[in-house]
Amino acid sequence: RRSSDLAQLKQLSGQVDRLKQEDAMPAMVLNQYRNSICYVFGIYRVGFPGKKPSLRARISGSGFVVSNGLLATNRHVAEPWYEDAESTALIGKGATPQLEKLQAFFPGLTTPVDITPLAWTADGDLAILQIDDSAAVRQLRPLPFADKTPTPGELVTVIGYPMGILGMVAKAPPSVYERLAFRNDDQGAANELAALSLIRPSATCGHLGDVVGQKLVYDAPTAHGGSGGPVFDSQGKVIGVNAAYIDGFSGGTLGISAQALMPLID
């Protein structure tokens, strides 16, 4: 009886420790990996030769360091005309898409760095970009990847920049908020936030609802701008890349398995 009670106590103690670890996970991954998770800003255009661009738009997303000088994100962040209905219609008529600017703003850096798309999945929403080399960039830690398939029901933490510049300005001190809140200049606001060390990602947490092939479904909230951020498991390892959300359904945030990134990184 005593050995049975001890076994139950040990099991209960293990469960409590695991719950404590899971409760602490969002803060741990945010504090440990914050500087390697960047805000991605860009401008692209789609147009016909010799004419004013038919479409010119801004890009807002997230990304994270996966190895020295390489950044992971969604394909629709690195190549913003991907699966965009208006761009696709124009390209179908012979227009050409082009990136005007693509930059990464890292929490630990006071100025942005240029990034260049290197590779993307042909039938999925993943991409790898090259970060302009510098001493500061070389100090960024690659995020660790999980070596097992995630299990539905486990805790997940998503880190990124939901709402983009608007979200970071909303979190800024009152004096900065009042100066930037109504300025219609995302590039200028991003530069100012970086100079003030106010590029800060947000963490949300929830549970993994399902795993279907390379698709992850979870209820951690996100918004426009969170695309391309890392999804962590309860052990603090990356299991996926945040990709989209189903409007009107709180349990319908979608990610893509991090295992699908490996061929691109290679």
For 6-38, the pLDDT digits (tens) are: 666 666 655 545 555 556 677 888 889 999 999
Q: What is the mean pLDDT of the chain?
A: 88
Contacts of 178 (CB under 8 A, 6+ apart): none
Residue 89 has pLDDT above 60, yes or no: yes
Average pLDDT over residues 187-215: 92
Residue 43 has pLDDT above 90, yes or no: yes
Q: What is the pTM of this model?
A: 0.87
Between CA 111 and CA 180 the distance in angstroms is 17
Average pLDDT over residues 138-157: 91
Residue 1 has pLDDT above 70, yes or no: no
Contacts of 8 (CB under 8 A, 6+ apart): none
Candidate ranges 22-31, 103-112, 244-253; pick with highest mean pLDDT: 103-112
The pLDDT of residue 146 is: 94
Between CA 224 and CA 254 the distance in angstroms is 13
| Token pair belonging to 232 | 């962590």
